[in-house]
Amino acid sequence: MDDDWTPPYAHDPNPHPPDDDPALVLVLGGRRIRLEPADLLALLQIELADCYIVSTGHGTSGPFTFGGVALAELPARYGAGAWRAVDVISADGFRTRLSRDELARFAARPPLLAMVIDGMAMTRGQGLVRLIVPQETDDALRQVKWVAEVRVLV
């Protein structure tokens, strides 16, 4: 596995999108695959009801129903073999890591790359494309807005 970084987290959520480009790059086995929201919308869509964003700074929002692609779908779909974890990194340098074991344990409510919120297309301001990890209920450090890179680690 790559460097096991300590996330540069401050509980100081950024309300402003760093740029206008909602595409993300899937980094997998030496390849860099650019995926637009439309590419993700062409894959199997999953809906997760009763999701909350729990900010330790400005309170809890929700419940929301998020729609999108299961994060665990991407390594399989794009031909990763023995992958061990996925790093999800935003355009403003926020990030989280989900291990393959965690994603398997969470499969009943799979962490999503979300593009829909309460039946509406998510706006860039709302986080498009946003990682939603429904199992995280004590803070929102894994609810990464503006996903710019998904890096598959072997």
Taking the C-alpha atoms of 104, 90, 128 and 49 in order, what is their torsion angle to the nearest 10 degrees? 30
Binder of ligand MTE out of 28, 53, 72, 117 (CB under 6 A): 53
> Is the Cα torsion angle 74, 76, 77, 80 positive or negative in sign?
positive
Binder of ligand MTE out of 75, 90, 106, 112 (CB under 6 A): 90
Query: Is 14 near ligand MTE (CB under 6 A)?
Result: yes
Binder of Mo ion out of 53, 122, 140, 144 (CB under 5 A): 140
Of 92, 77, 66, whose CA–CA distance to 40 is shortest?
77
Other C-beta atoms closer than 10 Å to the C-beta of 18 total 15
Q: How far apart are CA 31 and CA 24, in angstroms?
A: 13
Binder of ligand MTE out of 83, 143, 152, 153 (CB under 6 A): 143
Of 61, 146, 136, whose CA–CA distance to 95 is shortest?
146
Q: Per-residue x/- mask for Mo ion, residues 27 to 66, rule CB under 5 A?
A: ----------------------------x-----------
Query: Is 11 near Mo ion (CB under 5 A)?
Result: yes
Binder of ligand MTE out of 112, 140, 150, 152 (CB under 6 A): 140
Minimum distance from residue 139 beta carbon to ligand MTE (Å): 7
Binding site for Mo ion (CB under 5 A): 11, 13, 55, 140
Binding site for ligand MTE (CB under 6 A): 11, 13-15, 53, 55, 61, 90, 92, 94, 140-141, 143-146
